[in-house]
Copies of this chain bind each other. A is one copy, B any other.
Amino acid sequence: MPRSETKPVAVKKAEALSDEQFLAISKAVADPRRFAILQQVAAFQAGPLACSNLQEHNVISPATISHHIKELAEAGLIQVEREGRCGNLILQRGVWDAYLRRLSSL
């Protein structure tokens, strides 16, 4: 059954990524630690995730964690909300879906 998309596409804007953002996301994913952080953020979608709660298999310095979070945020994959001492990390699901769509079009 062919799906007929005769509805106005106004429901959700399937935003396309710029080449720049696509590259930034690709690089962000290509680092194991960064991807691990992203996975934890995604898994904690229920509640906000404090930076200090990130658990790494290996010991990792706070400076490095901060660096990776910054890159994930600059790639648009997560949003960082400052509340008190902790930063809350929120996955930008729309951006991630847009990235998956672009990869799927290969």
A residues whose Cβ falls under 8 Å from a Cβ of B? 19, 23, 26-27, 29-30, 32, 35, 38-39, 42, 96, 99-100, 103-104, 106
Closest residue on chain B to residue A19 by CB atoms: B32
Main secondary structure of the interface of A (DSSP, over half): helix
Closest B residue to A93 by beta carbon equals B106
**Complex Cα distance A30/B32, Å?**
13
User: A26, B23: Cβ atoms under 8 Å?
Assistant: no
A104: contacting residue among B38, B100, B106, CB under 8 A:
B100
CA of A104 to CA of B103, assembled, Å: 11
The answer to whether B106 and A103 touch across the interface, beta carbons within 8 angstroms, is: no
A23-B27 contact in complex given A38-B106, A100-B104, C-beta closer than 8 Å: no
Residues of B within 8 A of A29 (CB): 26, 29-30, 103
Check A106–B30 contact: CB distance below 8 A. Answer: no
